[in-house]
Amino acid sequence: MIKPKVSYFGDVGSFSEEASLKFFGDALFIPCKRFRDVFTNVQSGVCDFGVIPVENSLEGSVGEIYDLLREFEVMVYGEIQLRISHCLIALPEVRLGDIRYVYSHPQALAQCSKFLSTLNVDLIPYHSTSSAIKLIKEKALRDSAAIGSLRAAELYGMNVLAREIEDNLNNFTRFLIISMRDHEPTGRDKTSIIFGLPHVPGSLHAALEVFAVRGINLTKIESRPNKERAWEYIFFIDFEGHRLDSNCSEALDLLRKKLPYMKVLGSYPRAT
């Protein structure tokens, strides 16, 4: 059996890698330093799938991901939710009192703000949690620590100074699985779409009414600035059901006629 090739954001030991392992199990994994690289690998055919974080239960959405979903011709094949537990990680034999700098992804720093406020340290944003740990190890930074996962600390042979340092234990990140196709219907599906609105009063209400009258439950609505026109917005909607279901298909057909722009990102099984 041929193993799928899967790109994910971050280095070995990142939460994206953990989500990838949880979703795919046995696969050929390719780490990427930028979100864009994950999308490029999928669209170009270098990889069959990509795994990218789209929102956190505490810090909200990752705006860049929504922009890339609009830009690239990929589809959402699946989703997975991962419990995020952060550790403060340093070189072996380094103590908490030695730390003057803490590196990590901006969202990880924000998720641990209460704990970090008790330390006399400078916070340094880095492009991923696992890359921050890797940096400290490779440069032997004895006055620095990183925020990351327990698994990453073990993989890099690092010292865990503190565990579960996140502000709220109810800390989950939702990851999307992207591919060049979406998933066949399963009976427990979700669909994601993007659309723009005409500049007339009540246009958002008219668009959402298409779902309401058909009893289609919306699970998320998010707006992003339209990069092509100042002060106009693009809307991202998740709703229950598969795009091939009769009521969902009917709603999508009607929206295409009503709206100046609409793109179906894909239908896929809801994460449990």
- Token digits for 83? 């419990």
Q: What is the mean pLDDT of residues 126-136?
A: 92
Equal fold, 87-163 vs 189-269: no
pLDDT at position 221 is 94
- The mean predicted confidence, pLDDT, of the chain is 94
- pLDDT of 272 above 70: yes
Q: DSSP 3-state assignment of 256?
A: helix
pLDDT at position 113 is 95
pLDDT at position 184 is 97
Query: Would residue 272 show up in a list of annotated catalytic residues for this protein?
Result: no
Find out whether 42 and 178 touch, Cβ atoms under 8 Å.
yes
pLDDT digits (tens, 9 = 90+) for 23-39: 999 899 999 989 999 99
- pLDDT of 232 above 80: no
In angstroms, the CA 16 to CA 18 distance is: 5
Of residues 17 and 127, which shows the higher confidence score?
Answer: 17
Find out whether 108 and 167 touch, Cβ atoms under 8 Å.
no
- pLDDT of 16 above 90: yes
N- to C-terminal Cα separation, the chain: 27
In angstroms, the CA 63 to CA 246 distance is: 31
**Which CATH architecture does the domain made up of 87-163 adopt?**
3-Layer(aba) Sandwich (3.40)
Spans of all domains in the chain: 5-84+172-179, 87-163, 189-269
Residue 77 neighbours by CB distance under 10 Å: 22
Find out whether 48 and 6 touch, Cβ atoms under 8 Å.
yes
Percent of the chain with pLDDT strictly greater than 70? 100
How far from chain centre, in Å, is Cα 209? Answer: 28
pLDDT at position 137 is 96
In angstroms, the CA 42 to CA 72 distance is: 10
**Which CATH architecture does the domain made up of 5-84+172-179 adopt?**
3-Layer(aba) Sandwich (3.40)
Q: What is the mean pLDDT of residues 215-224?
A: 94
Catalytic residue among 15, 23, 35, 173: 173
In angstroms, the CA 26 to CA 111 distance is: 30
Reference 159, options 172, 171, 169, 144; nearest CA is 144
Reference 238, options 202, 193, 207; nearest CA is 193
Query: Would residue 39 show up in a list of annotated catalytic residues for this protein?
Result: no
Give the predicted TM-score (pTM) of the model: 0.88
pLDDT at position 231 is 66
Percent of the chain with pLDDT strictly greater than 90? 82
Q: What is the mean pLDDT of residues 189-209?
A: 91
Cα angle 212, 75, 51 (rounded to 5 degrees) comes to: 110
Domain 189-269 has CATH 2.60.40.1180: no
Q: What is the mean pLDDT of residues 236-241?
A: 97
pLDDT digits (tens, 9 = 90+) for 136-180: 999 999 999 999 999 999 999 999 999 999 998 888 999 999 999
Catalytic residue among 9, 29, 49, 175: 175
